[in-house]
Amino acid sequence: MDGPTVYRSSFWRNFWSNAVMAPRTSLGFMRVDFVIGTVFVIPLTQMVFFAFVVQLSAGGAASAASSIAFTAVGNAVATVTYSSVFSVCQTTDSEKQQGTMEHLLVSPANRIALYFGRGLIPILISLATVTVGLVYAATFFGVEIPVSSFPTLAVSIVLTAFAMVGFGLLLGGIALYLRTSIILGNIFLFIGLLLSGVNFPVSQLPLSLQYVGEALPLTWGLKAIRAAIAGDSLGSQSVLWGAVGLSALLTFGAAIALWEVFERRAISTGSIARF
């Protein structure tokens, strides 16, 4: 006699279901006004703020132009944090608050498809955010982006978006064990601004902090984008692409592993109340 049939939905069905439903449920705060603000407003205001800081610290000297350009590119890329870290990291909070976490734990949904599906919209928003930020950098802050660098720049932006969304998923996995992910997201927002070479080169940090900065995917994404704008050789850029791609794989993998550990513990105890 045959045993009970175990239902297994397909990978792609899970992927597209989560890609379509996540913006309406666990990513419900990603409304049109939120997306417009994230893509068009936050990059400009953040870049203007830090550009003025650089200009004032240099006394308005003409030599500050290169420092302003450096800062503009850094913040154009760093603004990806709002869509890739905050929006993705807070999916954990949404599942717990809406009471859907328990249903998700017992569902037969493929966990890899679930994670990648929920990351699709944030990846697209991250791509748009970085692209708009670089347009601002070229238009308002004197950053020269050669047309010949567009192909390599596009690859760098895509890889950076994937890596940062993977990092957001990793923080979301850590947040499974916390009451809220807001504090965690804020901490890593400012850690990225400080240690990833956004406003000054990582080499200016103390050696111990340089090691921390090198472990962040934003650091390698910024290096790849700066190298593309500078027109570095394809060989050197390929090394940076490999580093960004590796950070994306590691963060996605670590996020899924954390989820699986949480799932096993929650099922064995019969509750998520202690998390």
pTM of the model: 0.90
- Quick check: is 241 in a domain? yes
User: Measured between alpha carbons, how far apart are the two ends of the chain, in Å?
Assistant: 41
Angstrom distances, CA of residue 124 to CA of 83, 88, 119: 9, 13, 9
Write the Ramachandran bin of 231: left for phi over 0, alpha for psi from -120 to 50, otherwise beta: left
- Quick check: is 2 in a domain? no
Host domain of residue 131: 11-269
Give the per-residue pLDDT at 26: 60
- Quick check: is 147 in a domain? yes
Contact 18, 113 (CB under 8 A): yes
Give the per-residue pLDDT at 1: 45
- Quick check: is 50 in a domain? yes
Q: What angle do CA 177, 179, 181 make, to 5 degrees?
A: 85
**Dihedral sign computed on CA atoms, order 62, 63, 68, 69:** positive
Residue 10 DSSP SS3: coil
- Quick check: is 1 in a domain? no
pLDDT averaged per 10 residues, the chain (length 275): 56 80 63 84 94 81 80 94 81 78 78 81 90 96 94 96 92 84 86 94 94 96 96 94 96 90 83 66
Q: Structural domain tally of the chain?
A: 1
- Quick check: is 36 in a domain? yes
Q: Tens digits of per-residue pLDDT, 249-273?
A: 999 999 889 988 888 888 788 777 6
- Quick check: is 146 in a domain? yes
- Quick check: is 107 in a domain? yes
